Structure 1
Amino acid sequence: MLANGQTVIQMMEELAPKHYAVEGDKIGLQVGTLNKPVSKVLVALDVTDEVVDEAIAAGANLIIAHHAVIYRPLAKLDFSTPAGKLFEKLIKHDIAVYISHTNLDVADGGINDWMAEMLGLEGRDHLEEVHNDQLYKLVVFVPKAHHKQVLEAMWKNGAGQIGHYSNCSFNIDGTGTFLPGEGTDPFIGERGKLEQVAEVRIETIVPMSVRRKVVQAMLKAHPYEEVAYDLYAVDLKGRSFGLGRVGRMPEAATLEELVEKVKQVFEVPFVRVVGKLDKPVRKVAVLGGSGGRYVNKALFVGADVLVTGDIDYHTAHDALAAGLAIIDPGHNIEKLMKPRVAQWLARKLEDKGYATEVEASALSTEVFQFI
């Protein structure tokens, strides 16, 4: 059985939820429809004419890419222009395009984590917070006989997590009263008769990211026709998510040694370097894509070096003057997302019994030549 496009994207958003994205980022469905069976997914960094040809040859009818194919507002769709021809080809071959950009950067197990892992960084934290998982208090009243099943259903779906502690709740015995009216089908008691039932008041914490799932699981496990529960925001900081990663190298190295490691693990022939090559480096900040805006953040967290792409001349001078080294391996190193996303999504689809295939684009979309 083939997975529907919406099902594929629901799985993708388990890895990179849309609400992790930086405000204004161009993510989500950009071309086509997800309301169709998907035979094959092609995972790409960029959506170029060559990548679309690759999708056609592979029989893919959904492209999941990191960089937006529609980045600026379109005034018109002129099929005689390069961009117009690209969209015409996508539309004629019924290929949908879905973008996962800064949400994939921010996500745990996303691009910035992969970069940090490839460099062997330890004790990682994010470079800049962009999202906090707002906490809610869920209070529900349950008959004693069903206390355990309702509580475990909520825990199983993400409730009760406080820091490094899980399955957190508070439970109070009490008496619930209700009077079933006309048209009701009470689980306990009779219509027109006031009931008093031994119940447990359960209180637990629910992060916003799993709020709907927890409530649905609670309602499904609860025996009552009408469930009495409260859900309200609390003034407590939840889990933080952010762009970039900062960590420490297992052993001190020179900037030159780190440069060689960056070239090796990211498979790039050249990098641009700011700083003295014999400079000792231990604390490293990484950020996929264009990281010029994050030089001050890297300085603030005490990084010795920032590994990122697209550093401009004047930003490089400012970093050098402030004592921050920079290694710029280019924007295209985000290509590392292709095999990792493809593998993750293929495993999810297979676990659910879907025959939809997932393939990583084999094409390089590096726009620069190194001569």
Structure 2
Amino acid sequence: MTDSTVRTVVDALDTRYPRNWAESWDRVGLVLGEFDHPVARVLCVVDCVPETVEQAVDLGADLIVAHHPLFLKPVSSIAPDTFKGRIVHRLIRADVALYTAHTNADVANPGVSDALAARLGLTDLRPLAPAEGAAAGEGRGLGRIGVLPGPLTLAELTRLAAERLPATSAGVRSAGDPDRPIRTVAVCGGAGDSFLRDATRAGVDAYLCADLRHHPVSEHLAAGGPALLDVAHWASERPWLDDVAAWLREVFPIEVVVSDVDTDPWTVHANRDDLEIRP
């Protein structure tokens, strides 16, 4: 391809991540932008927030490819005195189009969880929850199950995840016996506690995802489920940006930049053991 426009890039993205693969509640595809506007530079982000929007403007990007939708629920106003309204007005004034691939990218093969699994060196991948409906078949589904290159303890796997995944203030925490041997691992980019039973049924040794909650984790471990690793939501999905960026560079003669702006809302982490306790 020689002439890249919003339309040609969007059409290619829609082919790679068909919109009918998305969950019924999801909102994916082109959010705003002129179809005939030329595209020379793309910025890939997890979240379309003021910080990544300004990054796109500073870079002179013509298009933002985001993972999380800017709009999931209906709105009655995009006035510039609202959070999302300010984003929309800023993008339009700067001639920056916005495209979203969310659950349709989660279920894809390769998709979001494949990129996460690759960071841990997992092989022999298969879906944690195989896709149904329009996306069914060809290895598609939510999450991935794979095998580590060699066995690790849970403590060692936790340190590996902290080393291989993008750094955040939240870091990586795990639940279970630190000395438990781990060979098979399930991963899921983003919130993953809805797949705790799937991980248990799959018989994996550990399951890594984001946004795990106290009571589901406690009950899961009490029932003999696999060890758990909880990472920041942004960190679990950031690896996918490298994959989609590499693919865009192969298909189009354009510059593609991956944002490393940490959009995880948690910004400070303190452990009592790290504090100097004064009498």
TM range (shorter): 0.7 to 0.9
Question: Unaligned stretches of 5+ in structure 1?
Answer: 134-208, 210-236, 351-355
SS at match of 2:57: helix
Shift in CA distance, 267/44, structure 1 to aligned 2, threshold 3 Å = closer
CA contact (8 A) 1:42 1:359 kept: yes
Whole-angstrom distance in 2 between the partners of 1:238 and 1:336: 24
Q: How many residues align?
A: 264
CA distance in 2, matches of 1:361, 1:248: 29
Which residue identity does 2:26 align to in structure 1?
D
TM-score, normalised by the number of residues in structure 2: 0.88
Classify the secondary structure of the residue corresponding to 1:7.
helix
2:263 counterpart SS class = coil
* Distance (whole Å) between structure 2 residues aligned to residue 289 and residue 313 of structure 1: 17
How far does residue 8 in structure 1 lie from its aligned partner after superposition?
0.7
Residue number in structure 1 paired with 2:248: 345
Q: Match of 2:264? A: 366
| 1:304-357 C-alpha deviation (Å, 9 max, x unpaired) | 21100000111111221122211001101111122322121012113xxxxx33
Q: What is the Cα deviation at residue 89 of structure 1?
A: 0.7
**Cα separation, 1, equivalents of 2:132 and 2:144:** 14
Within the candidate set 300, 303, 315, 2:204 is matched to 303
Aligned AA for 2:164? V
- TM-score, structure 1 as length reference: 0.67
Q: Tell me, in whole angstroms, the C-alpha distance in 1 between the residues paired with 2:258 and 2:166.
A: 17
Q: Distance in 2 between matches of 1:34 and 1:312?
A: 42
Larger Rg: 1
Q: Which runs of 4+ in 1 moved over 4 A?
A: none
- Provide the residue aligned with 2:151 in structure 1: 252
Q: RMSD of the alignment, in Å?
A: 1.9
Q: How many Å apart are 1:9 and its aligned residue?
A: 1.7
SS in structure 1 at match of 2:265? coil
Confirm or deny: 8 A CA contact 1:268 1:329 kept in the other structure: no
Contact 1:291-1:310 at 8 Å conserved across structures: yes
Pairwise CA distance, 1:240? 4.7
1:266 matched residue in structure 2 = 165
Q: SS where residue 143 of structure 2 aligns?
A: strand
Q: Identify the residue that residue 126 of structure 1 maps to in structure 2.
A: 127
Q: Is the 8 A contact 1:20 1:241 kept in 2?
A: no
Q: From the two aligned structures, give the one with the greater strand fraction.
A: 1
Equivalent in the alignment of 1:2: 3
Deviation at 1:132, TM superposition (A): 5.6
Q: Which moved more, 1:15-24 or 1:326-335?
A: 15-24
Residue identity (%): 33
Q: Which residue in 2 is equivalent to 1:87? A: 88
* Amino acid in the other structure paired with 1:37: P
The answer on whether the counterparts of 1:132 and 1:238 sit within 8 Å (CA) in structure 2 is: no
Q: Aligned AA for 1:369?
A: T
